[in-house]
Each structure stands twice: as C-alpha cells, then as structure tokens.
C-alpha cells in the first residue's frame, strides 16, 4: 500500500517496483496494491491495484481495512512517508492499521531524528501497530532505536531496490541527447528547494573554466505540491542563477517525469552524478541508489544515506552548501580517470546486492518473520468489532453556518435563530476560536474546498492582527458592525484566548505568511500576561505556549514563561484543593476543564509531575460532578455556577463547557492511555447530539450550527458563534483523537 503509478512521485515508483519484484520472486502468490490518491478523481491504475484510498478521507481508510480483512490478506506492506497520508503528520493511516487482522510490515522512507510532536506521536503508534519495520540504511535503524525506543529485533535493514542496468561507457548514450563529446553532470528526481541544485549551479563557473565541455543536466518535474503552492518559482530562480553566473549554455533542464526506460538512458549518458541535498536528515534516496547501482561516480553532500553508500571512497562527499567543494570534487574526478574508473567498478559491485530480485527476497523474509510473530500474538477477531471497539461514526464537518456567520471582517458574535445578528458586532474571542478551528481542519484534511478554508483562515487572522493595540500590547475584544473598537483593551481571558489562537497559527499553520504573522502577534502580546490574575487566562496562555512551541521548540524564554504560569496554577491548587474539593478556586464557573488541560499538557512536556497529577486529579473530580445518574454529561450551569459548600446550578448548560471537557479528556487519554478518559470525552461530545438532560440535540445536522445552550425546559434556539464553534472544535478534537492514539512523551521530548 502506498502511492502508485501513474501518480508522479518517487514512492509511487517504489511501490510499483517492489510489488512487481515480490510477485516475481514468490511464484503463485497474489500480490496486489492499495493506492493512495491525492485527488478525488484518482488515476488510471493498472489491474494490480485492487483498492484505493482518498488521502484526506478517514472513512476510506476504514473501508480499506474492511477490504483487506474480508479478503483474508496474509500480510500488508505499507510504504510510509508522512506527507502521503491524511491527518496531522499522516495520522489517518493509523485508522486503518488499528482495525487490521493481518500482520503489517512498514517500510519507513523517512525516519526523523527531530520529529515535531505530531510526527513523534504518529511514529510511536506506527511502530506499535507494525509487526516489522523496514529501513534502507543502518542510520534509520539507529534512529529508531535511540529516538523511538524500537527494539533492534523488530527492524529489518533492506536496501532501496534498483533495476539491473549494464555497466557501460557513457559515450554510447550521449549522441541521442545531443551531448556527444561532452562531460555530463546529472541530477534527477522531483525538483524542490531541498535538492540544493543552486549550489551545483554556483559551482559550474569554476568547473567550466577548467573543463569547457561540461554540461549539467537536471531531469525532473517540480514536485506537484510545490507547484500547487508557489508555481515554478524555484525552477525559474535556478534558470536565472545559471544566466547570472554565465553558465546558461552549460545547463539543461528537462522538466519531465520520465519512464523507467528513458531514465535508464539518461543514467547511461552520465559521467558524474550530483546530489547536493541541503539536509543530512535523509535516510534514503532512491535516485542515489539508482545511479550508484549503475556504476556511476557520485559527488554528494553527506546526508545519511549518501554517507553510508559512498563510504570507503565509493564516491566523493562534500560539505553542505559549499559550491567550491563541489567544483573541486568534480574537477578532481574528471582529471583522474583511473580513480573515477575504480569508484565506478566498486559502486557497481556493491549495487548487485541492491537489485530488485535480491531486495524482494529480503522483503519476503521479513513477511515470513511477521507472520510467524503474529501466530504467537494474533490480532482481535471480527467478533470483537463491537461498538465499544469501533465507535459510531462522527458527523461530517459542515461549516455552512460558520460561513454564513462570517463576512470580510470576521465572524459575528451572535445570531437570531440561524441568522447573523449584525447589531451585536464581532469579538476577538470568537475570531480566535474560529482561527484555531481552521488550523485544526487544515491539519485533519476534513475541510471545505481549499480556497474556502484559506479565505476564512485569512479573515480570522486579519481580525486578530487588527485587534492587537501595538502600543499597549493588549488585544481589544469587542468591535461594532461598523468596525469601531468599543474598548481600549479586552478582558484578560479574551487576550489570552487570542494568544492561544496566535500560538496555534505559529505552531500549526502551513501558510508561511500566516505562521509568521501569528508568531509576531504572539511575541508582542505575551509579555502582558505576566501581570494577569485570571487563572483561565494563565491556562489559555499555557495552551497557546504549547502550540507555539510545536514549531519553535528551542525558545528557552518561552519555556521559562510556561514554568511560571504552571507554578501560578499549582499555587492555587496547593492553597485551595482538599480531598472533597479538589479544585483551584472556591467556585467552579466557566471553561473549567481548560485549567486541567493546561496542567496536563505542561506536566507532560516540561515535564512537571506535580502539574500532571494536579491536572488529572482535578479533571477526574470535574468529570464526576458533571454527570447525571443515568450517565449523561451535565455541565455546570451558568445560572449560578457551583459554589463551594453550596448547590450547583444545573442550567443554563453551555456548549463551551462540553467543548472544554472533550479537549481536556482527550489530552488526559493521550497522557495516560486510560480508556476512562476516552469514554468521558465521548460522553461530553454526545451532549451536543442529544445525550443530555432533555434528550434534545443542540447541533443542527442540516445547517451546521449549534444552539446557544440548554435551559430547564428547552434548547436556546439561537445559533451564535461561540456555541457553533464549540461544537466544531469538539468534532475536530474527536476526529483527531479517533485515529491518533499515542503514549505520553518522555522527558527528552
């Protein structure tokens, strides 16, 4: 399972080649493919493709699991790369793996030494749910052992497969490309900034000065995702660079994704292969494997795969971002034909171990080990697929009402029934919530058309930027319909909620401009929190800090701020909490579970065991008092709240409380893996759908809005922004958690 031709990407080619090789080495075996589509219309696949998944559709992963289970597949071999599966860091894949009954062998095309939190969570779960892991270099196995604590016994090292190309003199192929009599430098693969091609072009003037017949051939289309995001900007910059350096007559760009046969001819015409990648964190390179195995001389930067493959003078390694070193290495090889011939022979000899038939046999051995291991610890049978194991399907996200409530300024605060109430204007609180939601939806891939989500996200971020008073560093909150701010500074809570949103954009947004603006807002508004006295403002800020530190992990000053705010909450806990009132204040009021959530997060990621314990203890108590005798979720009502030694208010129940409880319980589950928290989160979410005191749904399945609250005798029929966003944020949290089930991070995280 993975990308598959005719989709144009390296993993698609790898999946095709591996499947054909395995089928060839295991005669009589039915080897078929599940292809991952990055577009709704899919591709014209060959017959070997028996089922398809839509990258961003979580349900298609479940259907794929059903297909494999009912067809009694013996083993599933997954091609894993974070970017080819939907969900945060490709986490939709886990929704398939957790329902399979057959052994799973996963090929890791990328193994990150410094993953972000989402990537670490996915990799931990992927390692847990795979029977065997295959990496293509020793470095990959080392990282799995040291960073992810995967035992060596679970890992197989199998090189990247290559076709069996003849060992030939390059002159035999040059005429057909019109470069006869010239010395050919070659780079191929999908083109993007990480390839470092600009440094090879920078090296050309000195190379051409000594070897005027040199030509540099760059073969490959620009990566489709890069084209979608910024067009051909990178390729055009390379062309301008070649012209500026006076070597445009020595550079050929061939903007194509070529067939295997054509690629073999390009490789045949090559004298020296250049792979000037910019980062060492590449554990495998199919392009390097192909050219090396064909017996070509290679000049490469020392990324992990190149360092292993070219060791013992089987190629030339040069420093990263060093055109001078590239030119010296190329000229040195061109001037020493005996050394280049020896390098070629040694590379070709090593490459015989990488031919696809040999690689396929290694894969079959790994499959056999996985099946033997599975006999000892079989997966759950079909009879175990009860609703307790496979919970009900979540409602699909429907943003009609959010779109209806939004204009070019932001999202309106209130509605009369399902109609925006212009008279009440806008507020920063709701635009912050809306901006957080858009970032979560973008990560999940469960969203309206791309341009629709971009427009909403941009609008809400622009509102937050306008809300910040640059002189005072404070966010204003209320704006009239005619765009007048109604106060000089909002409440501490609204300021901190805006900080939370800005931190989310800085830590999660894939739009560079959005991320930079959000980070700027966060930096300008954070210092003001040091003077705040609201516990919820501290909690919201902690949530924002956690989000911000997803991307800016090395900011020690922010780490100190997180420690300070955590200590402030713990001080309240120590002073107020008793065995029969394990809470931070003398009353339980609004957005209560956010305090617990903030401490659970800080407790995990600082780490701070006292904070984690306080967060879990307070949330456990909060859950116990927000439950009816029949087991429904009953949030503390806003009509009086809950005073210590007093009676709790049962109404008016607010969607905000259910949303906070969903998020906090999911965080507690990720920290502890205790299923109790997962059930509590589901209970709070079901409150929106009608599992509540009145048995009435607050969510409008047709229009996507959510009612403003639950009264003793009725549902409040107005569908304001806060309540509607509370439902959709809860839905996003449930969707995120449904397939991303992970262990808590350790102290080194």
User: Per residue in 610-636, pLDDT tens?
Assistant: 999 999 999 999 999 999 999 999 999
Say yes or no to pLDDT of 386 above 50. Answer: no
Give me the percent of the chain exceeding a pLDDT of 90: 81
pLDDT in tens, 224-238: 777 777 888 899 999
pLDDT digits (tens, 9 = 90+) for 691-708: 999 999 999 999 999 999
Q: How far apart are CA 386 and CA 378, in angstroms?
A: 18
Report, as an integer, the average pLDDT of 487-509: 97
Q: Which of these ranges, 321-335, 530-544, 622-636, 730-744, has the smallest mean pLDDT?
A: 730-744
Token pair in block for residue 563: 């420690």
Quote the pLDDT of residue 46: 97
Tally of helices (H runs) and strands (E runs) in the chain: 27, 22
Mean pLDDT, the chain, as a whole number? 92
User: What pLDDT, in 10s, does the model give residues 579-615?
Assistant: 999 999 999 999 999 999 999 999 999 999 999 999 9
What are the beta bridge partners of residue 416?
419
The token pair at 195 is 């390839």
pLDDT of residue 375: 67
Confidence of residue 743 (pLDDT cuts 50, 70, 90): very low
- Check residue 416 and give its pLDDT: 97
Average pLDDT of span 374-384: 57
For each of the domains in the chain, give its residue range(s) and CATH number, in order of start: 10-161+357-384 (3.40.50.2000), 171-353 (3.40.50.2000), 400-739 (1.50.10.10)
Among 31-40, 256-265, 643-652, 713-722, whose mean pLDDT is lowest? 256-265
Q: Is the pLDDT of residue 173 over 60?
A: yes
Residues β-bridged to residue 475: 468
Q: Quick one: average pLDDT of 110-116?
A: 91
Q: Regarding predicted confidence, which is higher, 177 or 458?
A: 458
Q: Which residue has the higher pLDDT, 445 or 409?
A: 409
Tens digit of pLDDT for each residue in 50-100?
999 999 888 899 899 999 999 999 999 999 999 899 888 899 999 899 889
Residue 446 has pLDDT above 70, yes or no: no
- Bridge-based pairing of strands 468-469 and 474-475 is antiparallel
Residue 379 has pLDDT above 70, yes or no: no
- Does the pLDDT of residue 223 top 80, yes or no? no
Q: Provide the H-helix boundaries in 428-551.
A: 428-444, 450-467, 492-508, 512-525, 535-551
Highest-pLDDT range among 182-196, 425-439, 444-458: 425-439
- Please report the DSSP string for 269-323 in residue order: T-SEEEE--S-S-----HHHHHHHHTT-EEEE---HHHHHHTTTTTSEE--TT-H
Q: Tell me: pLDDT of 253 over 60.
A: yes
Residue 389 has pLDDT above 60, yes or no: no
Q: What are phi and psi of 274, to 5 degrees?
A: -110, 130
DSSP run (H or E) holding 469: strand 468-469
């Amino acid at each position: 399972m993975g990308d598959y031709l005719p989709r144009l990407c390296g993993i698609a080619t790898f999946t095709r080649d591996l499947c054909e090789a395995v089928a060839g080495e295991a005669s009589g075996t039915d080897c078929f493919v599940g292809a991952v589509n990055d577009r709704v219309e899919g591709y014209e696949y060959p017959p070997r493709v028996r089922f398809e998944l839509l990258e961003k559709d979580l349900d298609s992963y479940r259907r794929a699991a059903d297909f494999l289970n009912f067809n009694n597949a013996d083993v599933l071999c997954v091609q894993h790369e974070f970017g080819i599966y939907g969900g945060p860091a490709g986490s939709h894949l886990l929704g398939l793996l957790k329902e399979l009954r057959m052994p799973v062998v996963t090929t890791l095309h990328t193994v990150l030494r410094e993953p972000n939190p989402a990537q670490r969570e996915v990799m931990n779960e992927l390692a847990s749910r795979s029977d065997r892991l295959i990496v293509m270099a020793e470095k990959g196995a080392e990282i799995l052992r040291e960073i992810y604590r995967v035992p060596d016994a679970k890992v197989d090292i199998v090189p990247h497969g290559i076709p069996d190309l003849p060992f030939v003199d390059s002159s035999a192929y040059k005429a057909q490309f019109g470069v006869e009599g010239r010395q050919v430098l070659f780079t191929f693969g999908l083109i993007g900034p990480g390839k470092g091609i600009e440094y090879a072009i920078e090296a050309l003037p000195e190379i051409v000065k000594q070897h005027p017949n040199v030509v540099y051939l760059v073969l490959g289309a620009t990566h489709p995702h890069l084209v979608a995001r910024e067009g051909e900007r990178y390729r055009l910059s390379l062309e301008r660079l070649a012209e500026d350096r006076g070597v445009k007559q020595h550079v050929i760009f061939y903007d194509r994704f070529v067939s295997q046969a054509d690629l073999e001819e390009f490789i045949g015409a090559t004298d020296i292969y250049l792979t000037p990648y910019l980062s060492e964190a590449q554990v495998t390179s199919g392009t390097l494997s192909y050219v090396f195995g064909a017996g070509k001389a290679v000049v490469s930067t020392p990324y992990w795969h190149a360092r292993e493959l070219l060791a013992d003078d089987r190629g030339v390694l040069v420093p990263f971002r060093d055109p001078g070193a590239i030119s010296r290495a190329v000229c040195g090889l061109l001037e020493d034909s005996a050394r280049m011939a020896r390098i070629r022979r040694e590379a070709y000899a090593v490459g015989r171990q990488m031919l696809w038939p040999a690689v396929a046999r290694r894969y079959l051995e790994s499959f056999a080990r996985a099946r033997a291991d599975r006999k000892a610890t079989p997966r759950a049978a079909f009879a175990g697929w009860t609703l307790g194991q496979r919970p009900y399907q979540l409602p699909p996200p429907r943003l009609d009402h959010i779109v209806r409530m939004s204009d070019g300024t932001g999202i309106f605060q209130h509605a009369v029934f399902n109609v925006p109430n212009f008279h009440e204007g806008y507020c920063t609180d709701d635009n912050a919530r809306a901006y957080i939601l858009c970032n979560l939806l973008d990560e999940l891939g469960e969203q309206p058309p791309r341009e629709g989500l971009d427009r909403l996200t941009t609008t809400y971020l622009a509102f937050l930027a306008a809300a910040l008073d640059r002189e005072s560093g404070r966010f204003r909150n209320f704006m009239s319909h005619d765009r007048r701010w109604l106060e000089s500074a909002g409440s501490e809570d609204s300021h901190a909620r805006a900080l939370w949103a800005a931190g989310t954009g800085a830590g999660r947004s894939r739009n560079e401009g959005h991320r930079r603006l959000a980070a700027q807002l966060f930096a300008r508004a954070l210092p003001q929190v040091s003077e705040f006295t609201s516990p919820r403002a501290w909690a919201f800020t902690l949530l924002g800090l956690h989000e911000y530190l997803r991307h800016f992990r090395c900011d020690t000053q922010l780490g100190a701020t997180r420690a300070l705010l955590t200590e402030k909450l713990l001080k309240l806990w120590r002073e107020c909490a008793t065995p029969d009132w394990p809470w931070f204040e003398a009353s339980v009021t609004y957005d209560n579970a956010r305090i617990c959530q903030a401490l659970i997060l800080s407790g995990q990621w600082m780490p701070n065991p006292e904070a984690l314990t306080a967060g879990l203890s307070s949330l456990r108590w909060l859950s116990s008092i927000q439950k009816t005798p029949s087991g429904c979720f009953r949030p503390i009502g806003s009509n009086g709240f809950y005073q210590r030694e007093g009676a709790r208010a049962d109404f008016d129940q607010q969607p905000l409380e259910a949303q906070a409880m969903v998020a906090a319980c999911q965080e507690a589950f990720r920290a502890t893996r205790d299923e109790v928290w997962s059930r509590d989160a589901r209970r709070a979410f079901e409150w929106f759908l009608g599992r509540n005191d009145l048995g009435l749904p607050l969510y409008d399945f047709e229009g996507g809005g959510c009612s403003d609250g639950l009264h003793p005798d009725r549902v409040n029929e107005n569908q304001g922004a806060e309540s509607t966003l509370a439902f959709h944020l809860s839905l996003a949290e449930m969707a995120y958690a449904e397939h991303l089930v992970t262990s808590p991070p350790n102290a080194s995280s």
